[in-house]
Amino acid sequence: MSRTIIEIKARTNQPDKIRETLKNLGADFRGIDHQIDTYFKVTSGRLKLREGNIENHLIYYQRPDQAGPKQSDVILLPTGPNSPIKAILTQSMGVLAVVDKHREIYFIDNVKFHIDQVVNLGSFMEIEAITNNDELTRDQLLAQCEHYKKLLEVTDSDLLEKSYSDMVLSQSTPID
């Protein structure tokens, strides 16, 4: 399944405030997922296996490293618990990084929100405006991200340009 996502990733020290705002907006809480994301060595883009109690996918994506809204072009392959795909990819490609996080998942229509607690990195939040089959334009997705960024009081100084895997590799983010 291919999809386009416009996303914002930010540091937060106010997950309770974000949680309360999402509740007041009527967001659909999907649960808390303990996710282990294993990133594999690839020549372009990023390839990760997400293993969780809610979400399990092999995910390939290309996304620029930049603060603020950024476009990700994503291909998802659903996987199941105990899939042999991790062993195959580990042996054939090698592991680049592993990200261990607890993720709260919320939805408002096509917009997905995450409140993340990432081991050794701290607290973060993400806004992902998602389209399948190009039903929404890039500008519409961007407008949704900006709208929720404002409602959730995310400042430009909170925005991150790097992925969790990049931060794990460099350990450039202090532990909260």
Q: Is residue 22 one of the residues assigned to a domain?
A: yes
Q: Is residue 176 one of the residues assigned to a domain?
A: no
Domain that holds residue 151: 2-170
Per-residue pLDDT, 101: 98
89-92 long-range contacts (CB < 8 A, ≥24 apart) are: 89/38, 89/40, 89/47, 89/49, 90/38, 90/40
Look at the chain and report how many structural domains it folds into.
1
Q: Is residue 65 one of the residues assigned to a domain?
A: yes
Each residue's pLDDT expressed in tens, for the chain with a length of 176 residues? 678 899 999 999 999 999 999 999 999 999 999 999 999 999 999 999 999 999 999 999 988 777 778 898 899 999 987 889 999 999 999 999 999 999 999 999 999 999 999 999 999 999 999 987 778 988 999 999 999 999 999 999 999 988 899 999 988 444 44
Per-residue pLDDT, 109: 95
pTM reported for the whole predicted model: 0.90
| Residue 26, domain CATH | 2.40.320.10
Per-residue pLDDT, 173: 44
Does residue 145 contact residue 129 with C-beta atoms inside 8 Å? yes
Q: Is residue 175 one of the residues assigned to a domain?
A: no
Distance CA 95, CA 97 (A): 6
